Homo-oligomer: A and B are copies of this chain.
Amino acid sequence: MSEERRLEVLRAIVEDYVTTREPVGSRVLTERHRLGVSPATIRNDMATLEEEGYIAQPHTSAGRVPTDAGYRLFVDRLAEVRPLTVPQKRAIETFLSEAVDLDDVVVRAGRLIAQLTGQVAVVQYPSLRRSGLRHLELVPVAEDRLLVVVITDTGRVEQRFCEVPAGADGATVLDEATLAELRARFNAAAAGKRLAELPVAFTAVVEAVGPSVAGVAGAVADLVVDTLGQEGEERIVLAGTANLARSESTFEQGLSPVLEALEEQVVLLGLLTEMSTDGVGVRIGHENRLDGLTEASVVVSDYGSGGDPVASLGSIGPTRMDYPGTIASVHAVARYLSRVLPG
């Protein structure tokens, strides 16, 4: 009983089960795949595969179904990359290039993945923490309030209101000239810098300005450093939730746990960053520690302008998913997305 053929059998089982959604038996296996041996032989192989934990049968006298371990082996050693078709590639390219701003890019990427995979798509906005600062704008909105607009080199724009402490003499210091000075100083200090370097650069600014505006400068500096550093500020969008309902029957526990997990954006975000790796990462079924996703698999890739990853995107579907196809789609969208991002 060659190991090689046994793996071939596993591959056949996975592929068949993914397309038919039904437990696959030894007979159909020999019919649909040129394995060159009889059903009886296959049965022996299947028995071994079951012992090894790669497949299981839902009940006696049913065919076999891959286990999480089986899928894992499949993606690690058996799956061949299946490149997208030319029309698909073109669709991605044109659809993404039509986007008018970052929001648009992100939702379009989501739609694309949802469409290509027929599953749920997750797209994380470019992480503030991993972006550089392109520009900082200060806008007075009231006597003692300032709107601080932060523009990152990935095109993301965040705004925060900033309470301005009164000057030493109790008077506000928000005249246009002061603002212009602060604006210029901050931007000069931050130009092209990564987030990690901002605290230092900004402290220098705060120290350099006159004591009358140091309070304002400090407040702004703190706000910016906080904003860019807060994990809570990461954002993600979903697409293709309706696709879940289509594969509803696949989830033994029903859709609720999955939908609930998807609504927990913080947790989802944790999953994305945790999975973030070079290339495409795959989590299968119970490999996800998240309760709601034990019947689901997650395929994630990071993306970013140039070489540096700034965020992740991916696709979530039933463990019984088309791994090669999903991986290819996620990978392709991530790559094109990296290309169209400003940077």
Contact = CB atoms under 8 A, between A and B. Distances in A.
A320 interface: no
A82 interface: no
Contact of A134 (B141, B160, B161, B240): B141
A259 interface: yes
Interface in A221-255: 239-242, 244-246, 248, 254-255
A1 to B, nearest CB: 45
How many copies of this chain are found per oligomer? 2
A260 interface: yes
Given A134-B141, A135-B147, A160-B101, A242 B260 contact: yes
Contact of A139 (B137, B160, B244): B137
A246 B135 CA distance: 46
Contacts of A244: 259
A256 B263 CA distance: 18
A149 interface: yes
Given A254-B248, A255-B245, A255-B255, A149 B137 contact: yes
Interface string A116-160: 000000000000000000110101010000010101000001011
A139 B159 contact: no
Interface residues on chain A, size class? 20 to 34
A190 to B, nearest CB: 13
A147 B136 CA distance: 12
Interface string A290-302: 0000000000000
Given A139-B151, A141-B134, A263 B241 contact: yes
Nearest to A159: B157
A256 B241 CA distance: 9
Contacts of A245: 254-256, 259
A182 B221 CA distance: 27
B239 A248 contact: no
30 contacts: A100-B160, A101-B159, A101-B160, A101-B161, A134-B141, A135-B139, A135-B141, A137-B139, A137-B149, A141-B151, A147-B157, A149-B149, A149-B157, A157-B157, A157-B159, A239-B263, A240-B263, A241-B241, A241-B259, A241-B262, A241-B263, A242-B255, A242-B256, A242-B260, A242-B262, A245-B254, A245-B255, A245-B259, A246-B256, A255-B255
Contacts of A161: 101
Contacts of A255: 242, 245, 248, 255
